Amino acid sequence: MPSREYHEQIWQRVAPGLVPSHFAVRRAFLLGHVSAGQRALDVGCGEAHFTAELAYAGLEVVGIDVAEEPLRRARLGHPELDLRLIHGEAAWPLPDAGFDVVWAGEVIEHVADTAAWMSELRRVLRPRGTLLLSTPAHGALLRLALALSGRAFAAHFNPVGDHLRFYTQAMLTQLLLEFGFEQVSVGGAGHPAWSRPLLLGSAVRSRF
């Protein structure tokens, strides 16, 4: 099945207007790392909840997604936003080093070609620009629970599910370092502290 059709079908199963998971936590993290006047890219913007938050905070923002359905919904509520459809398996039609900030919230776990995707993130981000992202956490407690329950394991790693990648704090940190990012910080968010469901990462693109 072509990537576009695959993603469109996923979005057809998502109720319109659904608030993104951990929205308040992720919004606070995102807005705590940006400044008014910066140029930002929201990768996998969906219905543009975070794109709008960045615009409200005074940033010049572009939102991109690989499916038209969420963009259609987003344009109904936010016709003022710059929202663009991209091809999931091609280079993004965006300039090199065109953004001060790139935000990818709950996207990296859905990416089939992680190397190509990371390369595009780095390409469009200016040197010393900031990459911010979030993804579900797979800490020790969750891994233990999955190991002890065949039913939980099967549900979590459903072969027809839309999550293709699964990250621990160490794995995400290493990935960012390997793709030329510095000042990498990856931490858990959520409660209780020993069962955090979310990873929040920040990194700075190296000059070379």
**Structure tokens of 186?**
């990856």
Domain extent listing, the chain: 3-205
pLDDT value at residue 1:
41
> What topology is assigned to 3-205 in CATH?
Rossmann fold (3.40.50)
From 184, 25, 172, select the one nearest 111 (Cα to Cα).
172
Mind giving me the DSSP string for 20-87? PTTHHHHHHHHHTT--TT-EEEEET-TT-HHHHHHHHTT-EEEEEES-HHHHHHHHHH-TTSEEEE--
- The pairing of beta strand 125-136 with beta strand 198-205: antiparallel
Check residue 192 and give its pLDDT: 52
In the structure encoding, which two tokens stand for residue 23, read together? 């929205």
Q: What is the pLDDT of residue 5?
A: 85
Residue 42: the pLDDT is: 98
pLDDT at 193: 46
Q: Which residues of the chain have pLDDT under 70?
A: 1-2, 190-196
Residue type, 20: P
User: What is the torsion angle, in degrees rounded to the nearest 10, for the CA atoms of residue 199, residue 124, residue 27 and residue 85?
Assistant: -110
- Please report the pLDDT score of residue 191 as a whole number: 55
Q: CA nearest 200: which of 7, 22, 17? A: 22
Please state whether the peptide bond connecting residue 192 to the residue before it is cis, i.e. omega within 30 degrees of 0: yes
79-122 pLDDT, tens per residue? Answer: 999 999 998 778 999 999 999 999 999 999 999 999 999 999 99
